[in-house]
């Protein structure tokens, strides 16, 4: 079975198109598959050869057969493989030895013919026969494919264009040109396909952190098996230098782990018995026995790889523009070729052969492959490169959006601060002791999972008699109320005390304070301290250096604490004392204030801040290594607790977009130059072929710089 995920009434299925290297053909396959009844969306990731379909419940028929029929229509040599979830893909090596031999023989024949034609007095018939032989040897496949496609109603593809261009050259008696065009085109296409496959492998290897095997321990023996075959609860052994194949918990052993592939961090992490370890990390020294907690398909490494692979299905505006542009570009250029070949001789009594030659140059350079292949490769390289730095970007659209980032909104706790709270002072009042105050506060916070509550429970350090607690109520943005042995206990911020009408001492300091009252009698307050992350100073400065105009903090903490932190970090603005719904309202207000075409990012923990993450142009989750909830909630996931990774993401996004527009300018610029030169009679047919294939190779090599 291929991968399928229920999505309401929709289902997602994935297929590998092995050997696919022609981006122009990929676009046509994508378009035709998308027209099938019941297909809501079809997207091809040219970098991985992955076809992803969104299918509604109206679909009927054999999916595999229909896809194979469409793929065979456009690319007969491409194989359609149903993708099995969690199993690594393989790429067919497209090297065709027979094709290489044909190209070598064709080149030898062409060179021999040219030497005879230029440097000897031999009868012209012999070199002409060699030119025809070269043409037949290298061009028969293209001519047959063009004919088949015309019968199928597929006109204006590169096979048709090259066939018309070379047949036109024969008509005007330019046999050498016809042979050179076909030989150069075939050679260039072959090299281009090799470059595409090479770049695909490089990028895929860059972000494929999944291991090849697992050492399974059974009956006292250790066997090397495929990770896909290991079940949860089984024991695996990881030796020094090996990747951890599956998520699990260490039973025995102690070691240092290289987490670079997951987090981009170069500092090894120490682990020992009872620690949780994630797949994709490399065991550096000790031998570890690990009880598996996740199957291969659900492991962290697989999720990260799938996330990066599927990210390319969310196309950036630049990609969508190029797809639409390519759809109209070729017919327009072909029309211009006809006009160039026909109008001047009719109006100005020109030489038909000469203007036909100039029109054929337009045909040669009308294939948009350089644009269509280099743009998705650039974005995929950016996504893969970001993942190696511990930055997961869930779509090319978000990668491009990051390049236009102008406003960044931060949550405070766990984002700019460490989120590790510690009780630093206990201040009783009205005759209560420190023990009374701490005990009452600990019982009040017994059911809360908030970091502040956990710090109080940790400080108390004794068992809580939860049977004595009733009527527990957590009031968002205020605190908690509970009945303790029949006494009404309140624990929270100053707003809670004011709301409940409790007279208390409102202490003015930048620390977090939990005020406690019993039966409306104020008992005192507990001081909780949180530290700023050292990295928080860096992110604000780096974002400012990148041209981000405003950095803002939204927090539920009191204004004094928030103001002090904002001042220390040199944030532009701060909104404090906010309830969860008020954070969302402030985010909407800020979005309305940002500059046109610019983007706003919200950086939070990905769980508590889900509403704001959803509202922001770009939702960024912090420190989400292994957190399913955070990965689901955000558009960008920073796998470590370093907010400065956001600045890295912006730099990668801007570099990627720069490469994209360089390739667009390169391809269109060179094609425009050769159109002008061809119209003026300066460029020859074979030079146009060389330029067309050459610009595609240059664009692919330029795209590879992103990784």
- Give yes or no for a contact between 622 and 605, defined as CB atoms under 8 angstroms apart: yes
Q: Which residue has the higher pLDDT, 678 or 264?
A: 678
- Does a structural domain hold residue 171? yes
Report yes or no on 91 lying in a domain: no
Number of domains composing the chain: 5
> Which phi-psi region, left, alpha or beta, contains residue 581 (left: φ > 0; alpha: ψ -120 to 50)?
alpha
Q: Using 50, 70 and 90 to split pLDDT, how confident is the model at 252?
A: very high
Q: For a pLDDT cut of 90, what percent of the chain falls above it? A: 27
Query: Looking at the DSSP assignment, which residues form a beta bridge with residue 603?
Result: 410, 620
Its pTM stands at: 0.70
Examine residue 191 and state whether it is found in any structural domain, yes or no.
yes
Q: From CA 425, how far away is CA 423, in angstroms rounded? A: 6
Question: Above 80 in pLDDT, residue 654?
Answer: yes
Q: Can you list the alpha helix ranges (DSSP code H) found in 152-244?
A: 158-171, 175-207
Q: Which of 354, 373, 316, 346 is nearest to 189 (CA)?
A: 373
- The single residue listed with the structure tokens 């981000």 is 548
Measure CA of the first residue to CA of the last residue in the chain; give whole Å: 33
CATH number of the domain that residue 43 is part of: 3.30.70.100
- Residue 317: in which H helix or E strand, if any? helix 317-348
Alpha helices, DSSP H, located in 415-511: 434-444, 451-460, 494-499
Highest-pLDDT range among 31-35, 376-380, 616-620: 616-620
Same domain, 412 and 441: no
- Ranked by mean pLDDT, which of 314-328, 414-428, 478-492, 630-644 comes out on top? 478-492
Residue 645 counted as domain residue: no
Distance CA 624, CA 606 (A): 8
Specify whether 481 is located in the same domain as 546: no
Instruction: Please state, in angstroms and rounded to a whole number, the distance separating the CA atoms of residues 355 and 341.
Output: 5
Q: Which of residues 380 and 288 earns the better pLDDT score?
A: 288
Query: Do 356 and 372 sit in the same domain of this protein?
Result: yes
Let me know whether 255 and 342 are in one domain: no
Tell me how far apart the alpha carbons of residues 473 and 476 are, in angstroms, rounded to a whole number.
Answer: 10
Q: 305 lies in a domain? A: no
DSSP assigned state of 3: -
**Same structural domain, 479 and 562:** no
Same domain, 412 and 428: no
Element (H, E) at 288: strand 288-292
Q: Are residues 517 and 663 in the same domain?
A: no
Task: Report how far residue 43's alpha carbon sits from residue 313's, in angstroms, rounded to the nearest whole number.
Answer: 6
pLDDT for residue 47? 64
CA–CA separation, 633 and 677 (whole Å): 53
Residues 466 and 437 in one domain: yes
Q: Residue 383: inside a domain, yes or no?
A: no
Mean pLDDT of 62-66: 82
Residue ending a domain, among 639, 670, 695, is: 639
- Residue 625 CA to residue 613 CA, distance in Å, equals 18
Cβ partners under 8 Å of residue 190, min gap 6? 96, 99, 100, 103
Same domain (yes/no): 193, 317: yes
Task: Note whether 543 and 399 are same-domain residues.
Answer: yes
CATH number, domain containing residue 620: 3.40.50.1000
Identify the weakest region by mean pLDDT among 150-154, 444-448, 452-456.
150-154
Comparison of pLDDT for 448 and 365, the residue scoring more: 448
Backbone angles phi, psi at 6, to 5 degrees: -70, 130
Question: Annotated catalytic residue: which of 32, 411, 557, 635?
Answer: 411
Which of 51, 82, 113 is the last residue before a domain boundary? Answer: 82
- Whether 631 and 677 map to the same domain: the answer is no
Domain span at residue 599?
A: 391-418+532-639
Q: Residue 588 is encoded by which pair of tokens?
A: 């909407």
In this structure, is residue 12 part of a structural domain? yes
Q: What is the C-alpha separation between 224 and 568, in angstroms, rounded?
A: 54
Task: Answer yes or no: are the C-beta atoms of 256 and 305 closer than 8 Å.
Answer: no
Across all residues in the chain, what is the average pLDDT? 83
The last residue of one of the domains, among 264, 298, 332, is 298
Q: What are the tokens at 484? A: 């303790």
pLDDT of residue 23: 67
Question: Does residue 91 carry a catalytic annotation?
Answer: no
To 10 degrees, the CA torsion angle through 444, 447, 452, 458?
A: 90
Residue 462 domain-assigned (yes or no): yes
**Residues 537, 457: one domain?**
no
Confidence of residue 2 (pLDDT cuts 50, 70, 90): very low
What CATH number does the domain containing 278 carry? 2.70.150.10
């Amino acid at each position: 079975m291929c991968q399928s995920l229920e999505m309401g009434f929709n289902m997602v299925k994935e297929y590998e198109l092995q050997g696919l290297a022609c981006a122009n053909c990929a676009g046509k396959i994508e378009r035709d598959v998308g027209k099938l009844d019941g297909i809501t969306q079809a997207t091809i990731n040219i970098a991985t050869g992955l076809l992803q379909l969104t299918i509604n419940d109206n679909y009927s028929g054999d999916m595999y057969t229909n896809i194979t029929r469409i793929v065979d229509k456009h690319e007969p040599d491409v194989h359609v493989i149903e993708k099995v979830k969690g199993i690594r893909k393989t790429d067919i090596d497209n090297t065709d030895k027979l094709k290489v031999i044909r190209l070598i023989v064709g080149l030898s024949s062409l060179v021999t013919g040219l030497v005879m034609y230029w440097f000897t007095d031999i009868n012209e018939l012999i070199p002409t026969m060699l030119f025809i032989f070269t043409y037949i040897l290298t061009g028969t496949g293209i001519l047959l494919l063009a004919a088949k496609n015309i019968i199928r109603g597929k006109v204006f593809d590169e096979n048709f264009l090259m066939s018309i261009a070379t047949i036109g050259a024969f008509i005007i008696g330019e046999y050498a040109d016809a042979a050179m065009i076909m030989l150069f085109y075939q050679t260039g296409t072959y090299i281009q396909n090799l470059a595409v496959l090479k770049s695909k492998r490089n990028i895929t290897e860059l972000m494929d952190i999944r291991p090849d095997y697992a050492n399974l321990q059974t009956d006292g023996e250790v066997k090397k098996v495929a990770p896909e075959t290991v079940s949860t609860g089984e024991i695996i052994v990881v030796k020094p230098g090996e990747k951890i194949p599956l998520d699990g918990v260490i039973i025995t052993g102690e070691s240092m782990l290289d987490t670079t592939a997951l987090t981009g961090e170069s500092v090894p992490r120490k682990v020992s018995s009872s620690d949780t370890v994630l797949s994709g990390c490399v065991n550096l020294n000790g031998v570890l026995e690990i009880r598996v907690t996740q199957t291969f398909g659900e492991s962290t490494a697989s999720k990260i790889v799938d996330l990066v692979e599927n990210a390319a299905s969310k196309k950036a505006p630049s990609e969508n523009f190029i797809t639409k542009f390519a759809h109209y570009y070729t017919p327009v250029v072909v029309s211009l070729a006809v006009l160039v070949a026909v109008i001047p001789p009719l109006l100005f009594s020109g030489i038909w052969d000469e203007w036909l030659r100039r029109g054929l140059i337009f045909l040669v350079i009308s294939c948009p492959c350089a644009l269509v292949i280099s743009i998705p490769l650039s974005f995929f390289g950016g996504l893969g490169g970001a993942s190696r730095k511990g930055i997961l970007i869930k779509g090319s659209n978000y990668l491009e959006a990051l390049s236009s980032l102008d406003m960044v909104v931060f949550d405070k706790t766990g984002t700019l601060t460490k989120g590790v709270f510690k009780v630093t002072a206990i201040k009783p009042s009205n005759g209560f002791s420190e023990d009374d105050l701490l005990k009452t506060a600990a019982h009040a916070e017994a059911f809360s999972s908030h970091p502040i509550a956990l710090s109080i429970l940790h400080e108390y350090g004794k068992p809580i008699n939860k049977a004595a607690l009733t009527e527990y109520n957590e009031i968002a943005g205020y605190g908690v109320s509970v009945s303790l042995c029949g006494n009404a206990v309140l624990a929270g911020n100053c707003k809670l005390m004011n709301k409940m009408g409790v007279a208390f001492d409102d202490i003015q300091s930048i620390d977090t304070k939990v005020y406690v009252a019993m039966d409306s009698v104020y008992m005192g307050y507990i001081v909780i301290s949180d530290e700023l992350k050292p990295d928080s100073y860096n992110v604000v400065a780096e974002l400012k250096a990148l041209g981000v105009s405003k950095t803002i903090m939204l927090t539920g903490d009191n204004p004094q604490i928030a103001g002090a932190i904002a001042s220390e970090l040199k944030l532009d603005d701060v909104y404090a004392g906010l309830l969860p719904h008020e954070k969302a309202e402030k985010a909407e207000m800020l979005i309305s204030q940002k500059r046109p075409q610019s983007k706003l990012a919200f950086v939070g923990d990905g769980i508590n801040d889900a509403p704001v993450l959803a509202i922001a142009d770009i939702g960024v989750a912090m420190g989400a290594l292994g957190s399913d909830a955070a990965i689901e909630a955000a558009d960008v996931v920073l796998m470590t607790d370093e907010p400065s990774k956001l600045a890295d993401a912006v730099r990668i996004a801007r570099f990627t977009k720069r490469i994209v527009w360089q390739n667009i300018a390169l391809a269109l610029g060179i094609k425009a130059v050769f159109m002008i030169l061809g119209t003026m009679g300066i460029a020859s047919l074979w030079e146009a072929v060389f330029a067309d294939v050459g610009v595609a190779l240059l664009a692919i090599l330029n795209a590879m710089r992103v990784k």
